[in-house]
Amino acid sequence: MSATNYPLDPSAEGTRTSDPASLAPKSQKLRRLARARRRLAWLVLLAPAVLVLAVDIGIRGGRLLDLRGKHVVSYAGAILESAVLWGLLLYSASSRRGAVRWVSASLFVLLATVTLGVQIYFQRCYSTYVNLDALLFATSFSESVMGHLRADGGNLVSAVAPPLVCAAALVVAARRFVRPRQTRSGRAARILAPIAIFFGFVIPCSYRTVQASTPDVIYLHAMGGVIKQITGLRPPEHVRPGVRTPPTLPRATAIPSGARVTRPNVLFVITESVRADAHCIAPTDDCPFSPATNAAARKRFPLLQMRSNASTTAISLAVLWSGLPPTSSREDLHGHPLLFDYANAAGYDTAYWTSHHMMFANSRLYVQDLPTSHQTGATDLDPLADMDLGARDELLTERIRKDIREMREPFFAVAHYGNTHIPYRIDAEHAPFQPAMDSKAPEDNEAYRNYYLDAVHLQDRTIGEMLRFVREQPFGERTIVVFTSDHGESFREHGQLGHTGAVLDEEIHVPGWIDAPEGTLTEAEAAALASHRESIVFHTDLTPTILDMLGLEHEAGFSRWYGAMIGKSLLGPIERTEPVPLTNCSGVWGCAFRNWGMMRGNLKLEAREWDTAWHCYDVLADPKERNDLGAAACGDMAARAEALHGGLPGLVK
C-alpha cells in the first residue's frame, strides 16, 4: 500500500509536521541557543578567574600597573593557573549526576572562599597577602591565631562572605548552563581537577617582594608549604627561643662608681607594645595616656628618642638582657650571659616576674634556668590565663608587692607587664579614649587605636600602683627604676597593623626613662643621663647602662662578654659612628614577613620583603617617615645592611 500524506493539525498532541519550511526557523533558533549556551558555559567557567583578577585589581591596582618584565610574565602565569584550576573544578562540579559532582562542588566553594576571603581579610589588616612565610609562621601559633580570629570574627566573616556567596552562585550557574554529559571531557575533568589542586600547592609563584601572582595562587602555594611541613616533607622553619646554655661566670665584686656609698637596687620595668606617643615619657602636668606612672616618677630622666632594635618581644628581650645586637647568631643569643647572670655572679638577688603566658612559643625554655630567687609567669598567677594577653596585670602587681619585700638587697629584678598585647585588655569603667572598638577593619582604624590606648591607660594604673609601693618601702630610696617597652605598635601608618611587620618608628620608637633617687647616681652620671634626653639611643644601650648601675661596668672577668655588646652606657657620653642594626628576623625568633634595616644618628635605612629598594628617613626632621630620601642619602648603610642581612628582605633566598 502506498503511503498517503494527510494534512495534520500542528497543534494536535503527539503530531509533528514534516514541512521543511516550518522546520528551518526552529532548527536555526535551536542552533543559536546551543551556541549561546556554549558561550555562556565558557563565561561561567572563566568567571572565577575573572572575579579573582577583579578583586586583585580593586585591592592593589596601582601596584599591578607597576609590574614589569618577568613579573608581568609571572602574573600572567598565575592568571592562567587560576583559570585552569577553578575551571576544571567548576566543570567537574557541574556534572548532571554522580557523587563526584558534590565533592567537586564542595572543594570549589571551600577553596574559593578560603583562598580569596582570607586574602581580602589579611589585606585589610596588613596591606599584603598571606604567603608561605606568614602561613608557616601562623601554624606555630595556632592557638594565638584562633584567639585573634575570635576577637575579630565579624570582620573575617565580612571578608569571606562575598566569596562564599559568589562561589555557591557559580556552582548553581554551572549546573544550569554547563551541565556536561557523561562524556570523555567530563571524565577527564574529574581526573584533572584534583591534579590541578595538587599543582596549585607545589607550583612556585612570586609571593614575597612583588607578589606578582593572584591572591588565590599565593594562598594555594602557601597551603602546599604547610602541608609539606605537617607531613614531614619540609622541616619546620619558624625559629623560636630555646634552652639557654650560658657560661659559668666568675664571681665578681661590684664596685660602686664615684661617690656612691652603696650598690643600688635596679628594677627594670618592661611593658608590651607601648609606642612612644602613647606614653608620657617626660614629666608633665597633664598626662592623658599614663597618668599613674607620670605621677609616681615625677623626677625621672626622660629618653625621648629611645628605639627598640626590633618589634618582636622575643628579640627585644634577648637584646635588652644580653646587650647583643639582634643580628647575633642563635648560638650567641642563647649562649651569652644575661643581666640576671651578671648580677647573680656579683652577689645580687634577682627576680623575673611577668604576666606573659610562658607557653607562647615555648618562651619558658629561654628563662627557665635564670638564676632567680623569684620567678613568675602568667599561669602562676592564673592557671586559665589567656595565651595572648597572659594573666591580668593587676595580679602581677600583687605578686611583685609580695615577693619584692622578701628579696635581699642589693637586688636586680625585671617586672614584665603584658596586657597591652593584641587583642588588648580594657576595662569599660576606665576607658577615656572614645569612640573605641576592637574591630580591625580599616574604616574603624581610629576607634581601634582608641581601644589600644584604653588598654595602655588601664595597664598604667597598675604599673603606677606598683611604683608607688616600691617608693614607699625602706629600700625604695635605694632603687633605680628603668622603664621601656619591648616595642611599639602600628596602626596602618605604613599599611601594617600590630607589630613584627617593620622597623619603622611606629613599631620601634618606644618610651624610655630612668627614675633614680638622689644618691643612687653620682652627679656626673646624672648629668650624663640628663644630656641624653634628646639623644637617639637604643635598647642595646640599656644593658651596659644597667651593668654600670650595678657597678659591673669595669669587671675584668666579664670583658670577653662585654666585647660583643654594641651599646654604650647612658651614664656617660656616647660617641657612636657605627650604624645600629634593626631586624625582626633573628636567631632567637623567625618572622612572618622579612624586614630589617639600620640606623646611624637620625638616619634610618629600612625595607620590608615586598620593597624593591631601600628607604632612607630622617626620623627627627620627618618623625612620621613620610619622605623617603632614597638609599643614597643614608650613605654606606645600604651596602652595610646588604652585607649584614644578605640583601633586601625580599631578595634573600
Query: For 498, left (φ over 0), alpha (ψ -120 to 50), or beta?
Result: left
278 C-beta neighbours (distance < 10 Å), count: 24
| Residue 364, Cβ density class (10 Å: 0-12 exposed, 13-18 middle, ≥19 buried) | middle
Residue 166 DSSP label = H
Burial 386-395 (b: 16+ CB within 10 A, else e): bbbbbbbbbb
Tell me the residue type at 380.
D
* Nine-digit cell string for 55: 578583586
Q: What is the pLDDT of residue 620?
A: 97
Contacts of 38 (CB under 8 A, 6+ apart): none
Taking Cα atoms as reference points, which of 171, 40, 173, 179 lies closest to residue 96? 179
**Segments of the chain scoring below 70 in pLDDT:** 1-35, 138-151, 181-183, 232-238, 254-261, 361-362, 653
CA–CA dist 315, 557 (Å, integer): 26
Range 245-255 burial, b when 16+ CB lie within 10 A, else e: ebeebeebebe
Residues facing 490 on adjacent strands: 498
| pLDDT of 81 | 93
Q: What is the pLDDT of residue 58?
A: 93
Strand partners, 271: 485
pLDDT digits (tens, 9 = 90+) for 349-388: 999 999 998 877 667 889 989 999 999 999 899 988 887 8
Query: In a 3-state reduction of DSSP, which class is residue 411?
Result: strand
DSSP assignment letter at 548: H
| 3-state SS, one letter per residue, for 47-109 | HHHHHHHHHHHHHHHHHHHCCCCHHHHHHHHHHHHHHHHHHHHHHHHCCCCCCHHHHHHHHHH
DSSP code, position 207: -
Q: 3-state SS string over 418-441?
A: CCCCCCCCCCHHHCCCCCCCCCCC
Residue type, 162: P
- CA pair distance 361, 272, nearest whole angstrom: 16
Is this prediction's pTM over 0.85? no
How many residues belong to the chain?
A: 653
Phi then psi for residue 415, to 5 deg, are -110, 115
- What tens digit of pLDDT does each residue of 572-584 get? 999 999 999 999 9
Whether 311 and 510 have beta carbons less than 8 Å apart is answered as no
Q: At a CB cut-off of 8 Å and minimum separation 6, what does 552 contact? A: 252, 254, 342, 343, 346, 558
- Within 10 angstroms of residue 191's Cβ, the number of other Cβ atoms is 11
Q: Which three cell numbers, joined as nine digits, stand for 243?
A: 634552652
Residue range 111-158, pLDDT digits in tens: 999 999 999 988 887 778 888 877 777 666 556 666 666 667 788 888
Collapsing DSSP to helix, strand or coil, 303 comes out as: coil
**pLDDT of 440-488, one tens digit each?**
888 999 999 999 999 999 999 999 999 999 999 999 999 999 999 999 9
| Ordered alpha helix ranges (H), 497-612 | 505-508, 523-531, 539-549, 559-562
Q: Which residue has the cell 572575579?
A: 51
The answer to whether 490 touches 499, Cβ cutoff 8 Å, is: yes
Concatenating the DSSP letter of every residue in 461-503 gives: HHHHHHHHHHHHSGGGGGEEEEEEES---EESTTS-EESSS--
